Structure 1
Amino acid sequence: MRKNILITGASTGLGEGMARAWAAQGCNLALCARSYDKLSTLQSELQASYPNIRVLVRPLDVCDYEQVFEVFQAFRQELGGLDRVVVNAGIGSSSAIGRGQFPSNRKTVETNFVAAIAQSEAAMEIFREQNNGHLVLMSSVSGVRGFRGPLNVYAATKAAVASLAEGSQLDTRGTPIRVSNIMPGYILTDINRDTKNAPFRVDLDTGVRALVNAIDKEKRRAYVPWWPWTPLSYVLKALPFELFARVM
């Protein structure tokens, strides 16, 4: 079992849900996010419910790249090592290309992809020194194709994250270091709460259970929940462009 787990973006949504699930499994947690108050509340709750584990929290803006390395190393020192790092922090995009929202779209790219590179660098440095570890990159089903409108930039960042994960898998092939590309479908969080007619969306608890189960299996790639997103991913990839444009 991966005993010491670091999760970014752990104050809300999927990050908070995964923290609760792994705490219940008896894992030590290193939790970071921009909202330190929410982290502190979560820390107190988890320590009260599971007194035999350690729950460490630190504020972190993943776009402060130097701080990413500092925080990861500090957690490593406090816990005596890191067994798994979940690159979970991310934001949605708000506008289609050409609608005057470049600053917002740039922020999405920086948070979802550039910061993911920083987190991966920081995690892999630790794992290479330990000669062991599990890097988890949170992509999305939306990363399998280009999407229109406000999803355009978001989907592009998630495609980039998926490519980063696969490249890292090639780099660590034959070593004790594992890398997983996790591709959730629509799980109800603040990012997609306002998305109209989100297909096959599941509630947060259902989604988190599926996520933790997939991550614990340490597969190279996992669509979450498995049904219907695994078969649908092949359909999405295979749809001719004109048909894809009509249905999506």
Structure 2
Amino acid sequence: MRRNILITGASSGLGEEMARQFAAKGHNLALTARREDRLKALQAELTAAHPELTVLIHTLDVNDHDAVFETFRAIDAELPLDRIIVNAGIGRGAPLGSGRFDANLITAQTNFVAALAQAEAAMELFRGRNAGHLVFISSVAAMRGLPKAMTIYAASKAAVATLAEGLQLELLGKPIKVSTIYPGYIKSELNENAAAMPFVVDTVPGVRAMVAAIDAEKAKAFVPSWPWVLMARVLRYAPLPLVKRMF
């Protein structure tokens, strides 16, 4: 069945590759991001490869909360949305107390407060029709508090996962579905300057696992499943001294 899918943060990284893979599966798309030039290039690529599909683009800074609501409503009026993927996020951060509150603040605002705005705007649409699929992109980093530059990123992604779980409890057994996707280390522009990462996978196969979990409407999915189902449990339950050695 062809779906109408909105992806935020679609101009690069995991969002960009999700757009390619969902288009290849025959879904119409609405893509948002701050960088209009990147969106236009992706739109041209996808419409050339899949001329039968609708591919809409809208520039959007998810930290402009009024614009989130306006953009979601405008897209839905043109392309009634079946699925909304809350994907936009950043990976900046610094050890607390190191003088970089600015970096930690923008990460918290973008990864959680902006995700809340997107969830509010999405649920406004879905509650109105009592149908839809809301997808949150969290991270395996949400499983545990992490040190140094990862502290605020992990905390923001844990907040996203908790937000999603609250909605899942409210909507259990109802037509509106909520999924939380926990990617492991998947290569993207977000982490291209990061130190060596264990078990890292390339963007295409990593996103393929994400897309499969989303299409299956799983409530929770660690992707790729190997080794991240196991690693998530290790992160969640290992003693702090062991977690410290891992990072």
Q: How many angstroms does 1:174 deviate by?
A: 1.8
Q: How does 1:118-129 map to 2 (within 5 A)?
A: 118-129=117-128
CA distance in 1, matches of 2:58, 2:205: 27
1:41 to 2:37 alignment: no
Letter in structure 1 aligned against 2:110 = T
The equivalent residue for 1:244 is: 243
CA distance in 2, matches of 1:243, 1:203: 27
Q: How many angstroms does 1:243 deviate by?
A: 2.1
The equivalent residue for 1:7 is: 7
Secondary structure of 2:30's match? strand
Letter in structure 1 aligned against 2:25 = Q
The equivalent residue for 1:169 is: 168
The count of aligned residue pairs is 247
Letter in structure 2 aligned against 1:184 = P
CA distance in 2, matches of 1:202, 1:159: 22
Letter in structure 2 aligned against 1:28 = N
Normalised to the residue count of structure 1, the TM-score between the two structures is 0.98
Letter in structure 2 aligned against 1:145 = R
CA distance in 1, matches of 2:75, 2:246: 45
CA distance in 2, matches of 1:3, 1:243: 44
Letter in structure 2 aligned against 1:38 = R
Structure 1 residue ranges (4+ consecutive) displaced by more than 2 angstroms after TM superposition = none
1:2–1:83: 8 Å Cα contact kept in structure 2? no
CA distance in 1, matches of 2:78, 2:124: 17
CA distance in 2, matches of 1:173, 1:31: 28
The equivalent residue for 1:181 is: 180
Q: How many angstroms does 1:172 deviate by?
A: 1.1
The equivalent residue for 1:150 is: 149
Q: How does 1:158-237 map to 2 (within 5 A)?
A: 158-237=157-236
Pairwise CA RMSD = 0.9
Q: How many angstroms does 1:73 deviate by?
A: 0.5
Normalised to the residue count of structure 2, the TM-score between the two structures is 0.98
2:2–2:26: 8 Å Cα contact kept in structure 1? no
CA distance in 1, matches of 2:213, 2:2: 14
Q: How many angstroms does 1:94 deviate by?
A: 2.9
The equivalent residue for 1:135 is: 134
1:2–1:84: 8 Å Cα contact kept in structure 2? no
CA distance in 1, matches of 2:2, 2:242: 43
Q: Deviations over 1:107-154 (max 9, x none)?
A: 000000000000000001100111110000010000000101100000
1:43–1:57: 8 Å Cα contact kept in structure 2? yes
2:2–2:28: 8 Å Cα contact kept in structure 1? no
2:93–2:151: 8 Å Cα contact kept in structure 1? no
Q: How many angstroms does 1:2 deviate by?
A: 5.5
CA distance in 2, matches of 1:46, 1:193: 24
Secondary structure of 2:190's match? coil
1:5–1:85: 8 Å Cα contact kept in structure 2? yes
Q: How does 1:99-110 map to 2 (within 5 A)?
A: 99-110=98-109
2:135–2:214: 8 Å Cα contact kept in structure 1? yes
1:65 to 2:65 alignment: yes
CA distance in 1, matches of 2:194, 2:48: 36
Letter in structure 2 aligned against 1:24 = A
The equivalent residue for 1:19 is: 19
Which ranges of structure 1 fall in alignment gaps of 5 or more residues?
Answer: none
Secondary structure of 1:150's match? helix
Q: How many angstroms does 1:213 deviate by?
A: 0.7
1:11–1:42: 8 Å Cα contact kept in structure 2? yes
The equivalent residue for 1:28 is: 28
Secondary structure of 2:243's match? helix
1:8–1:15: 8 Å Cα contact kept in structure 2? yes
Bigger mean CA offset, 139-148 vs 192-201? 192-201
